[in-house]
Structure 1
């Protein structure tokens, strides 16, 4: 059965998804009977199809939002508008960093579809890091991505009217609510979405009863709720990055919204920190383990340095407004962003350890006692980053803290 684009929404299948891409003329008409279609989505929220012509190796990705969370089912309804937000975020990001995001060929709001560049020659960063791979351009690319998208979407660059229009366009209440609950709320209380082994209960209850931690987590949540500073990816973990030796692509910005500038950086730092912890178990040979962990810490450090330098260069070249030339304004913004990123990293570390959505870095440690040990270490590290974030003044302090976890 063919799908007409003016029809109402219905989920695509391997049998009818070709109708969506036909008008692009990406594949020759006579090649259509030779196309190979596979549903490849393994995420929590969407359908993803890979369409390839085997002889030419030309391929496309078709991503369709489902009206519910795939990980739970129809009992957790979700807006289809997140497909619009994702495609518009990719297009907006491409205005400043086209080499760091997949190319978008087509969007369809009725079907909640985005057709984009195939990245099958790339590897998911999380998987690569667990396996011990390193990438020399990663820090520069993520630092550049974060700084460029932040500056060009901020009040430092945009006219106030345009900035407020952008904030309205990227208002994303349903997916932000997921973050508000799963990152900033549920892990800090005895909530039924939490997921952790029984043996962690003492460490978890200690966290739940730590009033200083809860107060600081509340501050970070309030910042997330209220500070519409820059356009964020909203879910910048190592599963949202495709990588090769010479290419980095940031994918899946369906959680995009305007929020505090340190949020994306914090998520990225947290996921590298979790991999750093897990390498104590994954990397069997001591020298290799030390080398991998040094690389991860250098990546955190170099990402921040690139962010700081890139944002500063853009500020000096293009910042608008009467305070753009005032000494200390840029420094204050960068310091706030840095300390925020540390606190947000702490929240991400905790939620990835005991919340609903875990990371394979820790969960794939085969020895359960070892896994429990490093999950306890993760909770201690996350708590420290949240409570002590205001005392951090240099990136070296952060990497030293992670090294000592």
Structure 2
């Protein structure tokens, strides 16, 4: 920069009558923020603009390259709290429907092959815009509408809240890695992967064409899926068994725990919105008011409930049983009634955690669908069908898990070793105790997930789409009663059949 810059070099655009604005002339006390392509630099608590800290925060990890085989791979501050920054890789560019086709043409060659073209001009792009956390695009070949892919890009903040709630970009890397692991364990129920970019937080994967739709939307519409519950039971069994001590050596299992512990920001988010905030007064909480005001107060005063919730939180943070999806709700499943296809998607919360958190999350959303049916027009027969699917899912999960446990080709891990448990009777006794334990975990975590979807930050469309507030509150109160019963008494419930009967009796 020239020594006489202040005297001879105007930095302002032509037509603006100022000389060297902001940095060189304006006193710092008058600067409320510095706008950059990576966000706004706000003054810290001492009133200083710590540009060096901002640059450091936005350049961490930019040289890291993720290995993505067989998929192709390439390598903001808050005014309230300067530490609450948006951590964004230097190369990161938030994609739009205009920029994405060219990005794919330049970088995602396998995806372009799937799309049947090498030219960006041949592509059309639509942003779906219904997610809480990410951007999701459908990219289509203009010349052949059957050639499509899905592009998912992580944003550096919680989309449904805004930049005031920063969120790690690393979650895209963990989601891709989890998808790859699940694809290996259960290829039939996981979409194909075509491309991943860590700096851009961007995954390109198989487009699940109609009649595949999000399971939650299908349940609201009253669609019956002939194989959904069976398929999801198999998915949970295969992915959980294959990534646990039932299949892994001690060394491999501990290495997995070490690796997945790095997805700590997503774990912390779950700890906050599932295990903590619903049980106290928190600004993020919301519920149908005034109808459920007293219900919320009762939750905050229920000592037995809060102790059980705290014990469940301890399990969540300390039990490293398997690589869990950790967000397996009915919005993370796509199904087609026509051909019986089922796919599990969106495992960005994945980590080594308690198996029952996945099985519990899934049945929680089926129970939420069940209690919502009184606010929809699908009839009593559909309500009964939803309950049946909970039992079908559970039976499928247990049967497949025990099948893999009984097979020496798949039961290769360090847990329940065949050298110690030599007889079939001993093994069956261990299996019976294990099923009892996973049932208890499943129901208690299901209760936690149900309760948070009614009085926490993120609700479910099943209930929120019920327009009449009184009807909605009645359905939600039914859900709360089921949730509280499961959380407090899961250990005394002896079967999923009994759990379903309890849910029906609380209507």
1:93 alignment counterpart:
182
Using a 3 Å threshold, how does the CA distance of structure 1 residues 322 and 178 change in structure 2: closer, same or farther?
closer
Matches within 5 A, 1:127-142: 127-142=217-232
Instruction: State the TM-score, normalizing by the size of structure 1.
Output: 0.95
How many residues of Structure 1 are paired with residues of Structure 2 in the alignment? 397
Residue among 99, 102, 105 paired with 1:16: 99
Residue among 103, 114, 129 paired with 2:192: 103
Once residues 86 and 374 of structure 1 are traced to their aligned partners in structure 2, the CA distance between those partners, rounded to angstroms, is 33
Residue among 303, 323, 338 paired with 2:416: 323
Once residues 117 and 411 of structure 2 are traced to their aligned partners in structure 1, the CA distance between those partners, rounded to angstroms, is 49
Q: Give 1:79 shift.
A: 0.9
Matches within 5 A, 1:216-295: 216-245=308-337, 246-283=340-377, 289-295=379-385
Is 2:442 aligned against 1:359? Answer: no
Q: Deviations over 1:231-286 (max 9, x none)?
A: 11111111111110210111110011111111111111111111111111212xxx
Using a 3 Å threshold, how does the CA distance of structure 1 residues 277 and 161 change in structure 2: closer, same or farther?
same
Q: Give 1:31 shift.
A: 4.9
Using a 3 Å threshold, how does the CA distance of structure 1 residues 39 and 333 change in structure 2: closer, same or farther?
same
Matches within 5 A, 1:167-186: 167-171=257-261, 172-186=263-277
Matches within 5 A, 1:196-211: 196=287, 197-211=289-303
Once residues 415 and 218 of structure 2 are traced to their aligned partners in structure 1, the CA distance between those partners, rounded to angstroms, is 46
Using a 3 Å threshold, how does the CA distance of structure 1 residues 173 and 400 change in structure 2: closer, same or farther?
same
Helix, strand or coil at the partner of 1:262: helix
Q: Give 1:73 shift.
A: 1.2
Tell me, which stretches of 5 or more residues in structure 1 are unaligned? Answer: none
Query: If you compute each CA radius of gyration, which structure gives the higher value, 1 or 2?
Result: 2
Is 2:140 aligned against 1:56? Answer: no
* 8 A Cα contact 2:238 2:400, kept in partner: yes
Higher relative contact order (CA 8 A, sep 6+): 1
Using a 3 Å threshold, how does the CA distance of structure 1 residues 109 and 192 change in structure 2: closer, same or farther?
same
Using a 3 Å threshold, how does the CA distance of structure 1 residues 365 and 31 change in structure 2: closer, same or farther?
same
* 8 A Cα contact 1:260 1:337, kept in partner: no
What RMSD over aligned residues (CA atoms) do the two structures have, in Å? Answer: 1.5
Q: Deviations over 1:365-397 (max 9, x none)?
A: 122111111222211111111001011111110
Using a 3 Å threshold, how does the CA distance of structure 1 residues 204 and 322 change in structure 2: closer, same or farther?
closer
* 8 A Cα contact 1:31 1:53, kept in partner: no
Moved more, 31-40 or 269-278: 31-40
* 8 A Cα contact 1:21 1:115, kept in partner: no
Moved more, 232-241 or 26-35: 26-35
Once residues 322 and 240 of structure 1 are traced to their aligned partners in structure 2, the CA distance between those partners, rounded to angstroms, is 30
Q: Report the structure, 1 or 2, having the larger helix content.
A: 1
Once residues 97 and 416 of structure 2 are traced to their aligned partners in structure 1, the CA distance between those partners, rounded to angstroms, is 55
2:399 alignment counterpart:
309
Helix, strand or coil at the partner of 1:192: coil
Once residues 116 and 379 of structure 1 are traced to their aligned partners in structure 2, the CA distance between those partners, rounded to angstroms, is 37
Q: Give 1:36 shift.
A: 0.8
Tell me, which stretches of 5 or more residues in structure 2 are unaligned? Answer: 1-73, 76-89
Once residues 174 and 30 of structure 1 are traced to their aligned partners in structure 2, the CA distance between those partners, rounded to angstroms, is 37
